Amino acid sequence: MPRSRALKTRVAFLVIAVLVVVGWAVSAGTAGIHTGLALRIIISRIPLLGRTLPLGLGSIDPDMLESAEIIVLEVRLPRIVLGLLVGAGLAATGASFQGLFRNPLADPYIIGASSGAALGASIGILSAGRAGLAALSTPSSYIPIFAFIGAVITVVFVYALSTVDGHMPTDTFLLAGVVVGSFVWAMVSFLMVTAGEDLPKVVMWLMGSLSAKSWAHVRITAPYVLAGVVALTALGRNFNLAACGEESARYMGLDVERFKKVVIALGSLITAAAVSSSGLIGFVGLVVPHVARMLIGPDHRSLIPVSALGGAVFMVTADTLARVIIPPREVPVGVITAMAGAPFFFYLLRLRKKG
């Protein structure tokens, strides 16, 4: 399909928006590190570029520079990178699921990945508390693994439950996702009742947050999100066929059952990777694809990457706001995304009704 100049302009605009938001996010906060210094610190760590450019970091007090370096490189940057990944992954998955299921209300959590991750994380937090593991290692290193496994198992279960004779009717699949999801949520609630002093940890995890994330979290999430988003984008033309309806897609030569399997597998892995490192962050995967579709139309070859870029911008913006709104306390980023996302979604609906 002809890629128009308007599309290129919009993509370029989004890429610039990502850079601007990252620039803002590295310098925002209580430590008083201005954007210029933060960027110079980051550039100094880029191989080749850092050596050759005159950054003038030598003129800064070494102690101050060291603490600034730690704040920028070990606290803020991993958090920002994780935010970019989580936002991009959730939004790209949301766009894919909405196209595949032909359902504008579909989001990455609709097929049970969120409840499964929550159960996995709860089990992880509680069993660690009981076994005294929390004292031995930092909880952040193993909870993502529990959450990831929980999410994958739940989606596989939903898939198996709704497949009959090798066919998986979309409606059945979505219903199975909802039913299994509510069952798993009940188990999470049950665990929370028995959680005792670990309850706040579980609740904080469920609210979704990017705070206190390290490069370890980035390493868990990055491969799935990057590979997954690239793969979903490459499948774009097939999403367009599927969006016309299963039978039409089949008549246009798409092996629909196999395509569904591939997309569900990719989407679930991306979602599991995102959720396991950052908890349940809502609205990104639902709202961003709608905005992207309004900007550039429904062609999934551009819709999926543009959603990913938009999700990345939205996520890092929301997370930075979460840090700076009521310092020194932090608002869980899921609260910000819902507070910003819900009214915006409503506004979009009104807009479309009038148009």
Partner 1 sequence: MRVEVSDVRFGYGASGPEVLHGVSLTGESGTFCGVIGPNGSGKSTLLRVIGGVARPWSGCVLLGGRDISLMSPRQAAQLVAAVGTAEAVIFPFTVEETVLMGRSPHLRFFASETALDAAKAHEAMKRTGVAHLAGRRITALSSGERQRVLIARALAQEPKVLLLDEPTAHLDVNFQVEIMELVSALAHESGITTIAVLHDLNLAGRYCDQITMLSSGQVAAQGVPREVLTEEHLLDVYGVRAIVGRRPELDRPAVFVISGSPRHGHGGHTGLDGHCEGGEFNGVDDIGRDGDAG
Q: Where along the sequence are the contacts to partner 1 (CB under 8 A)?
A: 1-2, 99, 102, 104, 164-165, 234, 237-238, 240-241, 243-248, 250-256, 293, 297-299, 301
Pick 151 or 303: Cβ nearer partner 1:
303
Beta carbon of residue 349, minimum distance to partner 1 (angstroms, whole number) = 15
Cβ atoms < 10 Å from Cβ of 195: 17
DSSP, residue by residue, 229-256: HHHHHHTHHHHHHHHT-HHHHHHTT--H
Beta carbon of residue 93, minimum distance to partner 1 (angstroms, whole number) = 17
Beta carbon of residue 4, minimum distance to partner 1 (angstroms, whole number) = 11
Beta carbon of residue 250, minimum distance to partner 1 (angstroms, whole number) = 5
Tokens of 12: 């370029």
Beta carbon of residue 86, minimum distance to partner 1 (angstroms, whole number) = 26
Pick 61 or 165: Cβ nearer partner 1:
165
Helix (H, G, I), strand (E, B) or coil at 282: coil
Pick 279 or 285: Cβ nearer partner 1:
285
164 pairs with which residues across the strands?
167
Pick 276 or 302: Cβ nearer partner 1:
302
CA 311, 175, 102, 250 torsion-angle sign: positive
Pick 213 or 290: Cβ nearer partner 1:
290
Question: Any idea how long the chain is?
Answer: 355
Beta carbon of residue 234, minimum distance to partner 1 (angstroms, whole number) = 6
Question: What whole-number distance in Å separates Cα of residue 301 and Cα of residue 240?
Answer: 8
Q: Name all contacts of 243-248 with Cβ < 8 Å and 24+ positions apart.
A: 243/99, 243/100, 243/102, 243/298, 243/300, 245/102, 246/170
Pick 256 or 304: Cβ nearer partner 1:
256
